[in-house]
Amino acid sequence: MKYYISTFIFILIISLSHSQTSPEDKLGSWYTYFGNHRISDKLSIVAGGQIWAFEPATNLNLLLIKGGLNYHINNKIKVELGYSFLDIDKSIQGEEGSHIFENRISEQISFKHKLNNLPVDHRFRIEHRLFNLRVGNSTKHRLRYRLGTKIKLNKTLFIRANNEVLAHIEKDFFSENRLYGALGINLNKSCNLQLGYMHRFINDLNLHRLQISLFIKTDHRKKKV
């Protein structure tokens, strides 16, 4: 276990040491909270949000608030209908006072399985993005596919890794890639904290982001007597 933790920390340090070579020349951060609340054998509610910053504590880039409803087909497959509201600040890119507001509707299917005892999870998502711009409104549609794994080190620690590809439907098909790795800590049976790093390739920029994420799962189903 010590070998895995040491290797992960070493890779993280090496990655961060190259962050200042980014065209943006900033080490940014993403702060995430998401809760998944089971209300029946077939249904669960998701709610949460994200804050993106161009620097760890300053230069707010994005605020996202999301809610959604999951239908569990079985223990391995579920589908989700979601809605998100986003406030995007582009002033750091030279558009002073410029905020873009986005209403986003999404449909997704996710499933998990094991590959030679390695847990693997897949997520396919379609997003319908409605933008409120200073010069009018616009609509875009996007496809997303994420492949990931979660490796348990012991009862408390785990490693989470995934890669996600994002693509526009209308034009410029490939739009973004997000590579993520984190050390996870199980705070209790229903809550975990992830401390990680994301390499984000978008618009020919290589962006480096520290991530702090809190995930909570609750089960409100009535216990069978």
Backbone angles phi, psi at 16, to 5 degrees: -70, -30
Can you give the length of the chain in residues? 225
- The answer on pLDDT for 4 being more than 60 is no
Which CATH number does the domain 2-19+27-219 belong to among 2.60.40, 3.40.1710, 2.40.160, 3.40.50?
2.40.160
Kindly indicate the confidence band of residue 65, based on its pLDDT and cuts at 50, 70 and 90: very high
Of 17-31, 113-127, 145-159, where does mean pLDDT reach its minimum?
17-31
pLDDT value for 22: 40
CB 38 within 8 A of CB 219: yes
Separation CA 223–CA 88 (nearest Å): 43
What's the alpha-carbon Rg for the chain, to the nearest Å?
19
pLDDT value for 113: 96
Over residues 135-139, mean pLDDT:
83
Separation CA 52–CA 157 (nearest Å): 25
With a pLDDT cut of 90, the percent of the chain lying above it is 64
Over residues 88-99, mean pLDDT:
64
CB 100 within 8 A of CB 88: yes
Q: Where are the domains of the chain?
A: 2-19+27-219
Kindly indicate the confidence band of residue 175, based on its pLDDT and cuts at 50, 70 and 90: confident
Kindly indicate the confidence band of residue 11, based on its pLDDT and cuts at 50, 70 and 90: very low
Tens digit of each residue's pLDDT (9 = 90 or more) over 102-123? 999 999 999 999 999 899 999 9
CB 162 within 8 A of CB 144: no
Backbone angles phi, psi at 171, to 5 degrees: -160, 170
